[in-house]
Structure 1
Amino acid sequence: MDSNSVSPMPELAPIAEFDKSPPSPPNEEVPMDDLPPPPATISQAEGKKMKVQRTRSYESDDHERGACEWCEYALVITLATILLIGVSALTIFWVFYYRAGYAWADENPAKQFNLHPTLMVAGFITFSGFSVLLYRICRCFRRIYVKLLHAIFHALAFPCIVIGFLAVFDYHNKSGINNFYSLHSWIGLVAMGLFGIQYAVGFFSFLLLLICNKGTAGFRASLVPVHAAFGILTFVLGVAACLTGLTEKALFDIGTERYSALVDEAVILNTIGVSMIAILAVVMYILSRDKFRAPETRDGHIRASVDL
């Protein structure tokens, strides 16, 4: 045997591969009592029935809520309308039944004075009240139509206030009575001044500037809350002026003794005053209810109030 030759390596047996699969768990039986109960099965028909019932209950709640809101809306708007018209009608009745009607003549200045309470109530309360409530009453109208109606009611109130002021001013001069000395006259002057400014600014800003609608939209939108706030203030001052004027009329013409005895005329005057307070309360309640506003002007969308 050649010493330089190398004997071949013997063939090795293949290395057995380790089984990488996890060992099988021991066969242990789990008691049936320890298993959770199977979920309750609901048929498809029962599921649809439950869904329909749940949907109907939600819809019925929405309908009930909507019906309640509409009933509230109709109630307060109807009440406000009756009070606004009724207070002027009651004032006219008081003048004709207890104060001998109206006149504009030098021989009977007392009848000329009767124009003052009637026209001031009509201007500051009836027409101004409807003008304030138009944005709650006419919720389905186009914005431009509501603006025009708002301007028309203010246009009706304006001559009433002016003629009523001239009637009492001329009456005082004819009767030798001083002007602008009482709290009633001071409140009335402030209310008339604010009304004139409001009318001029509103007519110019919200009607004339519509000629350039897009260019002035930002300015008009910024003016809306200011105009609305001063409009409410003017209405409140108008009610205050009418109330103080009725008190003066009762004390001066009826007299403290007859007024304290609560004669028929005193009852009528007190009823007119209570009606004014009720009007103020109802109007402020309507204005405070955001749900009575038009849908497009809710949630602070002031810009919608200046668009067409």
Structure 2
Amino acid sequence: MAAGRFLFFSLALGALGSLCVLLTVYWVQHWRGGFGWVDSDGIFNWHPVLMVAGMVVLYGAASLVYRLPQSWVGSKVPWKLLHSALHLAAFVLAVLALFAVFRFHSQKKIANLYSLHSWLGITTVFLYACQWLSGFAVFLLPWAPLEMRSLHKPIHVFFGASILSLTVASVLSGINEKLFISLRNQTASYPSLPVEARFANTIGMLVVVFGLLVLYVLLASSWKRPEPGALTDRQPLLLERE
């Protein structure tokens, strides 16, 4: 029964995450001039799409790998690798998103890291890099002693949830900043809430719902991976043979 509920919940989350990405693509394609490459103004529009796809949706999927009932039995090695690979893919998309915005600012002679959104976003990506590297070193490589794994696990879990929360905050501040900048000189200003503002605000609220649901699954005790014996729970990657 619990496995069936989790499967349904996972499918609903997948649909919601896909909707967030598709609506972001539609927003920048319909109102912001579409996509472009390195020397085009449209390069900026890759930034919101890649950030939502990577730091929100893929990050959420990676965070829930150990909640899959299939991961509760047998070797943890495949699930460790999947968890790490999804997080790495999310981080690569985040780096490409940062490249897009820095390149656009360079072309337009716009200062970098001047807003709260940029400060929050770059801090989130930096913490994400540290989180992935520390997790790789402690949980995947065979050199880490068992005491270090035990000590690092709650820290890893705390920062995992914190980075997702910071990501959602970054997305919301980014949407708001983009709307204020883009609409302030147009006939339908942001305070009048034109259609684009309504649409983008809806994306923001959907991202909030997605983030909250992921956090709920992470905190729900009935969906946590049962703790096996101390030996199998702490074994280094290269020593896990079961």
TM-score clears 0.5: yes
Letter in 2 for 1:252: I
Identity of aligned pairs, percent? 32
- Bigger shift: residues 131-140 or 192-201: 131-140
Aligned residue in 1 for 2:138: 205
What CA distance in whole angstroms lies between the structure 1 residues aligned with 2:38 and 2:122?
25
1:164 aligned onto 2:62: no
Give the secondary structure class of the aligned counterpart of 1:139: helix
Give the structure-1-normalised TM-score: 0.69
Greater RCO, CA 8 A, separation 6+: 2
**Alignment partner of 1:246 is 2:175:** yes
Give the CA deviation at 1:97.
Answer: 2.2
Q: What amino acid does structure 1 have at the position aligned with 2:127?
A: L
- Counterpart of 1:286, as a letter, is V
Q: How many residues align?
A: 232
State the shift of 1:125 in Å: 0.3
How large is the RMSD of aligned CA atoms in angstroms? 2.2
Structure of larger gyration radius: 1
Partner Cα separation in structure 2 for residue 146 and residue 128 of structure 1: 15
Alpha-carbon separation, structure 2, partners of 1:149 and 1:184: 30
Q: CA deviation at 1:304?
A: 5.3
How is 1:5-84 mapped onto 2 (pairs within 5 angstroms)? 67=1, 69-70=2-3, 72-84=5-17
1:139 to 2:71 alignment:
yes
Q: Distance in 1 between matches of 2:57 and 2:225?
A: 22
Please say if 1:86 is aligned against 2:15.
Answer: no
Q: Which runs of 5+ in 2 are unaligned?
A: none
Deviations 1:45-94 (A, max 9, x none): xxxxxxxxxxxxxxxxxxxxxx3x45543443232222222211211122
Distance 1:303 1:174, change over 3 A: farther
Query: Normalized per residue, which structure has more helix?
Result: 2
Q: Does the 8 Å CA contact 1:139/1:293 hold for their aligned counterparts?
A: no
Mapping for residues 120-139 of structure 1, pairs under 5 Å: 120-137=51-68, 138-139=70-71
Equivalent position to 1:271, from 196, 202, 205: 202
Residue 114 of structure 1: SS of its match in structure 2?
helix
What amino acid is the match of 2:156? H
8 Å Cα contact 1:131/1:154 also seen in 2: yes
Q: Residue 225 of structure 1 aligns with which residue?
A: 154
| Counterpart among 197, 209, 225 of residue 294 in structure 1 | 225
- Tell me which of 31, 38, 46 is aligned to 1:115: 46
Determine if contact 1:135/1:293 at 8 Å carries over to the other structure.
yes
CA distance in 2, matches of 1:302, 1:89: 43
1:46 is matched with none
Per the alignment, residue 95 of structure 1 pairs with: 28
Distance, in Å, in 1 between the alignment partners of 2:175 and 2:93 is 17
- Give the partner amino acid of 1:174: Q
> 5+ unaligned residues in a row in structure 1: which ranges?
1-66
Letter in 2 for 1:221: S
One of 147, 163, 173 as aligned partner of 1:234: 163
